[in-house]
Structure 1
Amino acid sequence: MKKFPNAFVLLIAVILFAWILTYIIPQGSYQRVLDEATGTTKVLNDSYQQINSKNLSVLDLILSVPRGIIGRADAIVLILLIGGCFYVIEKTGAFNQGLFKLVNILEGKETLALILVSALFTAGGVTIGMQEEVIAMIPILLLFGKSLGYNTFTILLMSYGSTVIGSSFSPSNPFGILIAQKEAGLPLLSGSELRLVVLGIVFVVWTIYLIRYANKNKIEKIKMPSTHESMTTRSKVILLLLGTTFFGVTYGLLFLEWDFNEMSATFFALSIVAGIIGKLGINGTGESYIEGFKEMMFASIILGLANSISLVLKEGMIMDTIVYGLFGPLKYLPPSISAVSMMVAHSLLHFPVPSYSGQAVLTMPILIPLSDLIGLSRQICVMAYQYGAIMADMIVPTNGALMAVLALCNVPYNKWLRFALKPTLLILLIAALALVAAVALGYQ
């Protein structure tokens, strides 16, 4: 094959492969009960048993595509509305003027820019588990990064990669560790001290790796297009509103139980206000929004297709069998080896379960009793989950956010895998050492 399949073809192929697996892997299921207090469905430990269920038909396979897209409707709407919002702001000229000024300020300070942007996206991962939100920012990030002389891989590492680092090693990611701690019966935000220490170490290593790669792979700077040497008052107001919106969304996610719908509505409102302030007019704002939709549509479909894979595995009744096969043998291992093996198993499981919040709900009820049995603390069990599952978002092709970002950057998945595997394994090595240290310290 002369050319590696694009993201659309690759995900369709994986969906087909998942369907074939439903005829090969034995069907099985854990018993589940509804927790009326929280409204969530919990998995009963030691309840796995093999079953004989009807195999998925060809029609089921085909239907998994639209159903998978529908299943991620909230995230798709978020991407479309944020993408449209950013396109409207770009049409007002605010982005170009702001980036032009920022690039001038950072002239000769490219390494500082790399550190600051990486820290900003890491903070986004730590606080709100940012990933899908990066998709709509990619066109602007590419323009900004290349104006500083950084290639596409550097831009991907400092933005998307940094969000994965922050999300994985966060002590407070609401979609990751907080869900896992709740399922494990631990106080929310407990054990944050060690997590913060590990986060600090990982960020330093990540930043050093990023800087070394960026400096060795500089490209010729692409001059920023700008019709203004200085920012207009309108552009300053628009960018101030954008910053205020990000702050408001972060506050809403952390303290007001916001979800994707609230985020989408907030950015939609921002786009209308920005279009009016930027003198685009009602029709101009609407037309710009539609253009933004077009830019984000392919990425949105990719996000939905990734969801179809886990849908096929679940309805084919082999998802629980995969979980049972990955985690069952851990009870025969010493605690430190079991902790590291648990992290590795979570990374492997993240291929068929690309939602790390869903992975927490699926695995914690099974792993917590197992951890108690082998003398592994529940905090370490949660750490193994967050390090293994969320870090896998760097490389698993079933992660819709990753594939959408790669599609917008025009980077084939095989090239990204070859590039990203080394830093991912480096960070996972640090995570493994942190787990061994946590066992030795009796981390509770």
Structure 2
Amino acid sequence: MKISFPHPLIILLAFVLLSWLATFLVSSGTYDRQIDESTGREVVIQGSYEAIEKQNVSYDEMVKAIPEGIILGADILVLILLIGGAFYVVEKTGALQVGVEALIYTFRGNTYLLLVILSICFSIAGATIAMQEEIIAMVPLLIVLSKKLNYNVKSIVGLTLGSSLVGAGLSPINPFNSLLAQKLAEVEISEGLVYRLVFFVIGIGVWTFFMIRKGKNKNSITEKIELKPSSIGWRNGLILFLSLGGIIFMGWGITQKDWGYNEMSAFFFVIGFACGLIGKLGINGTARVYTAGFGEMIFAGVIVGLARSVYLILEKGMIIDTVIHSMFTPLEGLPDQLAVLGLFISQLLIHIPVPSTSGQTVLTIPLASPLMDLLGISRQLAVFTSQYAVSMMDLLTPTNGGMMAVIAAAGIKFNDWIKFIIKSWLAVIGICLISIFIALIWFA
């Protein structure tokens, strides 16, 4: 009998149940906290942990924590819905597909430049909307591209899906990952933006180099490429311009105008509707597509809420500080580098049973942030170790349904995919670790 892996919703509900049971099994305890004048954040006071009277959570409180968690994550839920819905509209106008086809045709005479640009475009898509499932529909086009360029299809998938996932992991503005982690860690969105961008460029550069180098066949450059002409047209061109310009303008708003989640949500709501109207979807058509986009994104928002529910239950049982204390004790005597390395490896492993990016972020950041306080390390390290680990594991773990669907559609066996990308993956993991270790000094 075939056993399927549990749905992410079931996994999160299982965590809700386990967190409730933990309130009966784990001792209640608390740290004293104070306001850090330099950051304005409430931080844990080292050495102040003490056990308190057991605080059991009732069944009713456990069930009510589910909607309460979703309500607490309302700002992130809205951001996910409005940005995700906007790019869903862009996708349904056909501009994205036409843009990729025009890109391929325009640079058909320069294989290397085409592949580099392809990687850059998908890394930007990953950095902004964590594009993954959307690539499934593009697989037939990618297979044709692979044949025309005489390039290994695994390399083409690596330069699209892989670049998107690496871009999502190293991005400073991914709403499902880095922005969410910074929100939970109470870290300013603009803090370390340039630092993150530097390592985003380095990571994508290394990944692209390996994918192009590994995918080249012996006669790949000598074969003449024949592709059908593809014109973007002014409508699709304007839609793509607004989408890319919107991403750039959002970065300006974050750094120069201190934009928060509401500003970003409102901005992309306008962008999404404008693109729908330009794409001749009409007012009602744009509204229908946008709401369909909500349907595609709502699950990600609910996952965020359910993960918050886990935290609420642990908080009501007053066992969070006990868990932090048990985590801190073995790390206390370690050098900072080994402590954050241990946290990074833990995040990598956790992502196998918890395949939801936003779900894992909400589960782990509330624990990792005060742990960093106790170790005297910037909370930025809690964000880095989480966002890097989660998205990089998306390239490997079979629990990532989007990745598995893409490689299956491309006719790539899972074990062949792992063999093909593992060295490139390790190289980017090395860059992530370098970023983390430098960050220990940079954000001290």
TM-score (norm 1): 0.70
Match for 1:159: what amino acid? S
Q: Which residue does 2:44 correspond to in 1?
A: 43
Q: Which residue does 2:149 correspond to in 1?
A: none
Q: Which stretch of structure 1 is more off in the superposition, 356-365 or 429-438?
A: 429-438
Out of 341, 344, 348, which is 2:346 matched to?
348
3-state SS in 2 of match to 1:303: helix
**Cα distance 1:124–1:241, how it changes in 2: closer, same or farther (>3 A)?**
closer
- Distance in structure 2 (CA, Å) of the matches to 1:392 and 1:232: 40
How many residues end up aligned between the 2 structures?
A: 395
- Distance in structure 1 (CA, Å) of the matches to 2:243 and 2:115: 21
3-state SS in 2 of match to 1:42: strand
Out of 388, 392, 396, which is 1:391 matched to?
388
- Distance in structure 1 (CA, Å) of the matches to 2:136 and 2:82: 20
The answer to whether the Cα contact below 8 Å between 1:118 and 1:162 also exists between their aligned partners in 2 is no
**Cα distance 1:387–1:189, how it changes in 2: closer, same or farther (>3 A)?**
closer
The answer to whether the Cα contact below 8 Å between 2:347 and 2:389 also exists between their aligned partners in 1 is no
C-alpha deviation, 1:104, in angstroms:
2.7
Q: Which residue does 2:256 correspond to in 1?
A: 255
Q: Does 1:339 align with 2:337?
A: yes
- Distance in structure 2 (CA, Å) of the matches to 1:247 and 1:197: 16
Q: Which residue does 2:94 correspond to in 1?
A: 93
Q: Does 1:147 align with 2:141?
A: yes
The answer to whether the Cα contact below 8 Å between 1:121 and 1:163 also exists between their aligned partners in 2 is no
Q: Which stretch of structure 1 is more off in the superposition, 352-361 or 296-305?
A: 352-361
**Cα distance 1:24–1:76, how it changes in 2: closer, same or farther (>3 A)?**
same
Deviations 1:307-359 (A, max 9, x none): 322333333222222222222233334x3xx5223321355379597247656
Coordinate RMSD, CA, aligned: 4.7
Q: Which residue does 2:74 correspond to in 1?
A: 73
Q: Does 1:289 align with 2:290?
A: yes
C-alpha deviation, 1:429, in angstroms:
5.6
Deviations 1:198-244 (A, max 9, x none): 7776555544565578789xxxxxxxxx9x94222222222211121
**Cα distance 1:2–1:182, how it changes in 2: closer, same or farther (>3 A)?**
closer
3-state SS in 1 of match to 2:88: helix
Match for 2:361: what amino acid? P
Deviations 1:346-374 (A, max 9, x none): 55379597247656642332111xxxxxx
3-state SS in 2 of match to 1:52: coil
C-alpha deviation, 1:251, in angstroms:
1.0
Deviations 1:140-164 (A, max 9, x none): 4333455223579745432133321
3-state SS in 1 of match to 2:42: strand
Match for 1:142: what amino acid? I
Q: Which residue does 2:167 correspond to in 1?
A: 162
- Distance in structure 2 (CA, Å) of the matches to 1:390 and 1:213: 27
Structure 1 runs not aligned, ≥5 long = 217-225, 369-377
Mapping of 1:40-439 within 5 angstroms? 40-105=41-106, 107=108, 115-116=116-117, 118-119=119-120, 130=127, 133-134=129-130, 137-144=131-138, 146-149=140-143, 154=158, 155-167=160-172, 203=204, 205-207=206-208, 210=211, 229-333=230-334, 335=335, 338-345=336-343, 347-348=345-346, 354-355=361-362, 358=366, 361-368=369-376, 385=382, 387-394=384-391, 428=429
Q: Which residue does 1:4 correspond to in 2?
A: 5
The answer to whether the Cα contact below 8 Å between 1:28 and 1:318 also exists between their aligned partners in 2 is yes
- Distance in structure 2 (CA, Å) of the matches to 1:201 and 1:279: 39
The answer to whether the Cα contact below 8 Å between 1:94 and 1:239 also exists between their aligned partners in 2 is yes
**Cα distance 1:312–1:343, how it changes in 2: closer, same or farther (>3 A)?**
farther
- Distance in structure 1 (CA, Å) of the matches to 2:202 and 2:289: 43
Deviations 1:352-397 (A, max 9, x none): 97247656642332111xxxxxxxxx6xx77864553332323789
C-alpha deviation, 1:102, in angstroms:
2.2
- Distance in structure 1 (CA, Å) of the matches to 2:393 and 2:17: 17
**Cα distance 1:77–1:117, how it changes in 2: closer, same or farther (>3 A)?**
farther
**Cα distance 1:431–1:275, how it changes in 2: closer, same or farther (>3 A)?**
closer
Match for 2:8: what amino acid? A
**Cα distance 1:166–1:121, how it changes in 2: closer, same or farther (>3 A)?**
farther
Q: Does 1:14 align with 2:22?
A: no
Match for 1:257: what amino acid? D
**Cα distance 1:84–1:429, how it changes in 2: closer, same or farther (>3 A)?**
closer
3-state SS in 2 of match to 1:354: helix
The answer to whether the Cα contact below 8 Å between 1:89 and 1:95 also exists between their aligned partners in 2 is yes
**Cα distance 1:31–1:296, how it changes in 2: closer, same or farther (>3 A)?**
same
**Cα distance 1:99–1:238, how it changes in 2: closer, same or farther (>3 A)?**
same
The answer to whether the Cα contact below 8 Å between 2:165 and 2:392 also exists between their aligned partners in 1 is no
The answer to whether the Cα contact below 8 Å between 1:69 and 1:308 also exists between their aligned partners in 2 is yes
3-state SS in 1 of match to 2:338: helix
C-alpha deviation, 1:27, in angstroms:
1.9
C-alpha deviation, 1:176, in angstroms:
6.8
Structure 2 runs not aligned, ≥5 long = 144-152, 218-227, 351-358, 409-413
Match for 2:86: what amino acid? C
- Distance in structure 2 (CA, Å) of the matches to 1:19 and 1:270: 42
C-alpha deviation, 1:6, in angstroms:
1.5
Match for 2:233: what amino acid? T
3-state SS in 1 of match to 2:34: strand
- Distance in structure 2 (CA, Å) of the matches to 1:345 and 1:251: 32
